[in-house]
Amino acid sequence: MTIPVFVLLGFAVWTMLTLIGSIGVYRWSRILTGKTSIAEWYDNAPRSSDWYQRAVRAHMNCVETLPVYGAIVLTLVVTGLTSPFMDGIALTIFVTRIGQTLVHIVLPPSNTSASLRFALFSFQLVGMMTMGIMIVAYAV
């Protein structure tokens, strides 16, 4: 398994862990303690805590980015392109994805935390665009 494919698997696992470890724990702890019923959950319910709403958004960020990275990796596998540079970009994307998620969930909203999240997201975008450009250059 190549590093970019391994990162794709890690990205999928991280997305699920974000769901289970934040949203799932929050919801089930409230349901099991009788603070709410299982039928009362809506994604943007105003009664939800600020932390919970950030966790939902962080999970959605993973869900939104995962298919883009998956398409890049699929194209990478189909073309057969491998390189240590591409491996490094894939690992950077994964580390910055985890960092962005953690900043989103752990840090309260502020200009600093929003700027840090944006910087981490920007590294991911630049990394994915670089991978795409390298695939196209290789295939042509």
Q: Which two tokens stand for residue 58?
A: 């962080």
How many independent structural domains does the chain possess?
Answer: 1
For the chain, strand residue ranges (E) read none
Cα 29-30-36 angle, rounded to 5 deg: 155
pTM: 0.91
Taking the C-alpha atoms of residue 101 and residue 15, their distance in angstroms, rounded to an integer, is 9
State which residues form the domain around 126: 3-139
The pLDDT of 84-104, averaged and rounded, is 98
Render pLDDT for 113-136 as a digit per residue (tens, 0 to 9). Answer: 999 999 999 999 999 999 999 999
d(CA 100, CA 120): 6
